[in-house]
Amino acid sequence: MKQFHPLTIERIERETRDSVRIALRVPEEFEGEYEFLPGQHLPFAITIDGKKLRRTYSICSGVDERPLEIGVRVQPGGAFSEYAASTLSVGDTLDAMPPGGRFRIDLDKANARDYIGFAAGSGITPILSIIKSVLDYEPGSRFVLFYGNRKQTTTMFIEDLYALKNRYPERLQLQFVFSQEDQEFPIAAGRLDADKVRELYAHFCKGLDSAAAFVCGPDTMIRTVTDTLVELGFDPDSVHAERFGVPRKGEAKVAAAGKAADHASITVIMDGHKKAFEMRRDDENIVDAAAEHGIELPYSCKGGVCATCRCHVREGEVTMAANYGLEPWEIKAGFVLACQSRPVSESVLLDYDKT
């Protein structure tokens, strides 16, 4: 099982009025564990006022850039984000697990592909990592980014994006969309809704070949953009999405199958070791049930988004309440999110070592 390690804050800077960027130095002995694919995130564990919190933040660095950077938008009342913006300083440490997440790109120097990104607000963070890495690593590939914000002043990483545009003028196309600011050209005003996606696509994406799309933002934006891209002819498998925040419960139920047993015996395989415990039918999920027995299983968001709790059902059957983190092929192959899973069969064997 991946372990948390203390990462040292090397820089912490205000990015916009309501966001900060934090540069984290990985201890030398763990550097290898923190290699990542562009688009992936870091799960954090932190105790604030005696309360243990888990949060997940996407890495915004290019694949070879160190220290690792994350961008944190301050949410009013958001315990971690407010703490990060007001209390953390250079030299402090944050406990982070090695990177994970299914929203990612496999780079190939030989690629000559077109990529499209749609980001809303802080959804830019994983996409910034993907853009930097594609432009640096795939000299034949191009990227078109559509980035929605309320105003220019609340737009995270705007300077980084302009710097990339200066460096790769032929291969990066940037189009900002602002919802609360008058724009000279109507195409740059509004939200990333279905009509805007169609308008932007018609205007900027003519002649793109075999494009793959990366979409990151709140749940409703993700659904609107992905549905519209599919309607425009994209293969659903080439549209990759990462939600931030946890969608409201019940929005995306995965079909429940069968009737759960009153009790089930759960066995987990992790790092080659087996551990077993009994779970009640009315327990919320496998991660919490394991914790009641003193068994710590990996998790971060507990909302079905980050996939930190991903594991493989080797025997038995579970049902998931929600899934925003697994791709269709993973479900087919038997992977589940333990934080959303309850047993259906009387015994279940979960394998955390299978990737």
Which residues bind to ligand FES, rule: CB under 6 A? 299-302, 304-309, 325, 337, 339
Question: 146 vs 324, which CB is nearer to ligand FES?
Answer: 324
Question: 241 vs 301, which CB is nearer to ligand FES?
Answer: 301
Minimum distance, C-beta of residue 237 to ligand FES, in the bound complex (Å):
21
Question: 74 vs 306, which CB is nearer to ligand FES?
Answer: 306
DSSP class of 93: E
The answer to whether 21 touches 90, Cβ cutoff 8 Å, is no
Question: 121 vs 247, which CB is nearer to ligand FES?
Answer: 247
Minimum distance, C-beta of residue 349 to ligand FES, in the bound complex (Å):
19
- Please tell me the distance from the alpha carbon of residue 198 to that of residue 228, in angstroms, as a whole number: 7
Q: What angle do CA 8, 12, 18 make, to 5 degrees?
A: 135
Minimum distance, C-beta of residue 95 to ligand FES, in the bound complex (Å):
16
Report residue 293 CA to chain centroid gap: 29
The answer to whether 96 touches 5, Cβ cutoff 8 Å, is yes
Question: 23 vs 337, which CB is nearer to ligand FES?
Answer: 337
The answer to whether 190 touches 162, Cβ cutoff 8 Å, is no
Block residue for tokens 């994406």: 205
The answer to whether 277 touches 72, Cβ cutoff 8 Å, is no
Q: What angle do CA 176, 182, 183 make, to 5 degrees?
A: 50
Question: 217 vs 304, which CB is nearer to ligand FES?
Answer: 304
H helices of the chain, in order, are 79-86, 124-137, 158-167, 194-204, 219-231, 286-292, 328-332
Minimum distance, C-beta of residue 226 to ligand FES, in the bound complex (Å):
19
Write the CB contacts of 134 (distance below 8 Å, at least 6 apart in sequence).
38, 105, 107, 115, 141, 143
The answer to whether 322 touches 254, Cβ cutoff 8 Å, is yes
Question: 60 vs 301, which CB is nearer to ligand FES?
Answer: 301
Minimum distance, C-beta of residue 33 to ligand FES, in the bound complex (Å):
19
The DSSP bridge pattern shows strands 68-73 and 273-280 to be unpaired
- Please tell me the distance from the alpha carbon of residue 94 to that of residue 333, in angstroms, as a whole number: 34
Question: 122 vs 300, which CB is nearer to ligand FES?
Answer: 300
Minimum distance, C-beta of residue 97 to ligand FES, in the bound complex (Å):
11
Minimum distance, C-beta of residue 144 to ligand FES, in the bound complex (Å):
30
- Please tell me the distance from the alpha carbon of residue 318 to that of residue 346, in angstroms, as a whole number: 10
Minimum distance, C-beta of residue 284 to ligand FES, in the bound complex (Å):
12
- Please tell me the distance from the alpha carbon of residue 98 to that of residue 26, in angstroms, as a whole number: 10
The answer to whether 254 touches 317, Cβ cutoff 8 Å, is no
Minimum distance, C-beta of residue 100 to ligand FES, in the bound complex (Å):
10
Question: 160 vs 242, which CB is nearer to ligand FES?
Answer: 242
